[in-house]
Amino acid sequence: MKWQLSPRLIDKLKKVDVRVRKSFYESIRLFEQSSYDLHLDNHALEGEFAGFRSIDVTNDYRAIYEEVPSGSPEPIAYFFLLGTHKEPYG
């Protein structure tokens, strides 16, 4: 699946530990190949984030995205939030 990063997520990547940043890009490469690879634990979110999806970046970090129409048959995954499990979910 094609993907795009929000400016906010790019800023967050610049501030996180280099290991988290490296894991993020490894997860994105895996996501490109197979967005539902078991290692990503790609799943739909509920509550405040209903309609969005999340993938694992590390044991604690998650990346949240929304599938947006792209004009082609396949939507684009728009990643807009990166944080520890507690950060985005409160």
b/e map 41-58, b = 16+ CB within 10 Å: ebeebeeeeeebbbbbbb
Tell me: the pLDDT tens digits for 16-41?
999 999 999 999 999 999 999 999 99
Q: Residue 85 has what pLDDT?
A: 81
pTM: 0.90
Residue 10: is it exposed, middle or buried by C-beta count within 10 angstroms (0-12/13-18/19+)? exposed
pLDDT of res. 50: 94
Domains (range + CATH), the chain? 3-81 (3.30.2310.20)
Average pLDDT over all residues of the chain = 93
What is the band of 89 on the pLDDT scale with cuts at 50, 70, 90?
low
From the CB of residue 63, how many other CB atoms can be counted at a distance below 10 Å? 27
Q: For residue 25, which amino acid is it?
A: Y
Angle at 72 between CA 44 and CA 69, to 5 degrees: 40
Residue 55's pLDDT band (boundaries 50, 70, 90)? very high
Left, alpha or beta for 51 (phi > 0: left; psi -120 to 50: alpha)? left
